Structure 1
């Protein structure tokens, strides 16, 4: 660890301890704050009309905006635990990507990472958001990095979790999914089977064993909310396949210089038991950003740990958001 990294880590630890005490004393972010159940989440869903389609999103809170970007093949429901914890401090918005969840994609609209960036800009403009704190996971993390690289003025801070990097996109573990998607088989043969057999979904061979540390995940309501929309019509199934196929191209290629030049504070929290994205990504990300606020490694956590550990997301976000200042951004 060089001197710059040591000072950053030391400063982060001090800020984290101080803020943790303040938040706990104020009765704010707590580990036992309840997550939103599916019925409540569905009731909060709204649609923003854009040229990309009607973008489904759930919003809680007021003030400065925070965007929560989900993974594949999930949707905004992934953040049901983080949103109520952070709503007292931010206008928290969890959209569904093009081709995922409940977003109604415009006819002929592509759904690749570049298109997702355009959609987010349109969504932000529609909702009157000049810039946002961004929290992202999995393929949403790739989109977040593209947004930061191409439109740094729209990203105030970035809390990044397990996701694609320029050196690992797509990861080898995703190649069978992409191959099945090209054949039009992935949604039916994987998601369809998991949707029909919850025990299989939570087994070692299912999404549970692959992406979650807790054998009780994903819950029944999560399975319904994630996979139900993608199985509901052939058009939605086709778009889910298009989403997966679009991940075959390394959209992050050539972004390294822009990410190093960015001044937005970036914090990375990584589940070290992830079997999709390799541990080498952590070392790469440690030096990838111009204003890195360090790396936290979560032993035993897998790809979709933000869903299982929303208290960690909330505390890390609060520390990151409270270290941001306009002066720091101008350095």
Structure 2
């Protein structure tokens, strides 16, 4: 188990706004230029709990619970396809009164964030991507696993299985190694998976997978060279789900990108918080276009 820990400080108070007609919760701390932290699957703003305090000494930090996750609403009337989710980031920025911001994003958040910076380059001052499938996809075992989720979620008889109580146990077992390596404690993992204990949460979860696609996104890869903002690719090298090659391609193709390697698994902000926080602070020091 890792001993790389920093002082978390007091947990920030959650606030609420409305995006696409439904409730979005977010943590906010600090003052100054804004910094948005986007989490991944199956997390919430708590994925950044070690970073929010130190980063808020320099920025106004906003860490949302993406719609469907954490304490935000789970509205199955909302589409979860890629284009809808990326465009939803812009509407979230509007709801939060953000014109231009630094953006750090992990996992699913990085997948969406990459599309967002390509569509709205004028709204991102700096970009950090952490262990995300980004423009590519997962390693073969995880591509098969998540692909099975998406296929099953689109077929009614199998979709009902994704909305049954055993799905909580399946995910708890599947994420147990992150308890062993110190990424999560039991309380944090329970909070991430609590929605799978409720019928409404499981229905939304099946809805999410019905809109998701595991295929490679060549249109994202083709536009990497257009990203002009200072970019940091911060990567846990022991990730079984996403190849290090994805990180290397991001760093090679994005013109003003640096690659930072961390001896960590997929949930690196939680497993190696001090290293990740230090890397993000250095990233914030990089000059950005006015």
Q: TM-score range by the shorter chain?
A: 0.7 to 0.9
The structure 2 residue matched to 1:46, chosen from 15, 40, 44, is: 15
Give the whole-Å Cα distance in 2 for the aligned partners of 1:241 and 1:85: 36
**Per the alignment, in what secondary structure is the counterpart of residue 62 of structure 1?**
coil
Match of 2:188 among 222, 225, 233: 222
Residue aligning to 2:83: 114
Cα distance in 2 for residues equivalent to 1:213 and 1:219: 6
Q: In structure 2, which of residues 61, 72, 90 is the aligned counterpart of residue 103 of structure 1?
A: 72
Q: Counterpart of 1:156?
A: 125
Structure 2 counterparts to residues 16-165 of structure 1, below 5 A? 33-35=6-8, 40=11, 44-106=13-75, 108-165=77-134
Correspondence for 1:168: 137
Q: Pick closer, same or farther for the CA change 1:105–1:231 going to 2, 3 Å.
A: same
Task: Describe the superposition over 1:103-150 as per-residue Cα deviations: whole angstroms up to 9, x where unpaired.
Answer: 114461112332222222122112211111111111111011011111
Matched residue of 1:254: which SS?
A: helix
Alpha-carbon distance between aligned partners in 2 of 1:54 and 1:261, rounded to the nearest angstrom: 33
User: Max radius of gyration: which structure?
Assistant: 1
Instruction: Describe the superposition over 1:201-256 as per-residue Cα deviations: whole angstroms up to 9, x where unpaired.
Output: 4xxx53132xx385344212212221113433x23212222223333254733123
The answer to whether residue 260 in structure 2 is matched with residue 296 in structure 1 is yes
TM-score by length of 1: 0.76
**Could you say which residue in structure 2 is the equivalent of 1:323?**
286
The one-character-per-residue Cα deviations of 1:169-216 (angstroms, maximum 9, x if unpaired) are: 586404324424522334656651168xxxxx4xxx53132xx38534
Cα offset, 1:61, TM superposition: 0.9
Task: Tell whether the 8 Å contact from 2:224 to 2:250 is kept in structure 1 after alignment.
Answer: no
Alignment CA distance shift 1:132-1:318 (3 Å)? same
Residues 76 and 207 in structure 2, CA contact (< 8 A), matched pair in contact too: no
In structure 2, the residue matched to 1:247 is: 212
Query: Alpha carbons of 1:117 and 1:52: their partners in 2 closer, same or farther (altered >3 Å)?
Result: farther
Q: What do residues 262-310 of structure 1 show as CA deviations (whole Å, max 9, x unaligned)?
A: 2111111111111000222122222221321x212223x1110112222
Are 1:54 and 1:106, in contact at CA under 8 Å, matched by a contact in 2?
A: no
**Structure 1 partner of 2:221:** 256
Residue in structure 2 matching 1:193, options 169, 173, 195: 169
Which runs of no fewer than 5 residues in structure 2 stay unpaired?
Answer: none
CA shift for structure 1 position 96:
1.4
Q: Is the 8 A contact 1:166 1:250 kept in 2?
A: no
* CA deviation profile, 1:46-86 (whole Å, cap 9, x unmatched): 11112252111111111111111111111111111110111
Specify whether residues 169 and 266 from structure 1 end up closer, same or farther in structure 2 by C-alpha distance, changes over 3 A only.
Answer: same
Deviates more, 1:250-259 or 1:302-311: 250-259
Q: Distance in 1 between matches of 2:166 and 2:51?
A: 27
Candidates 306, 309, 315, aligned match of 2:269: 306
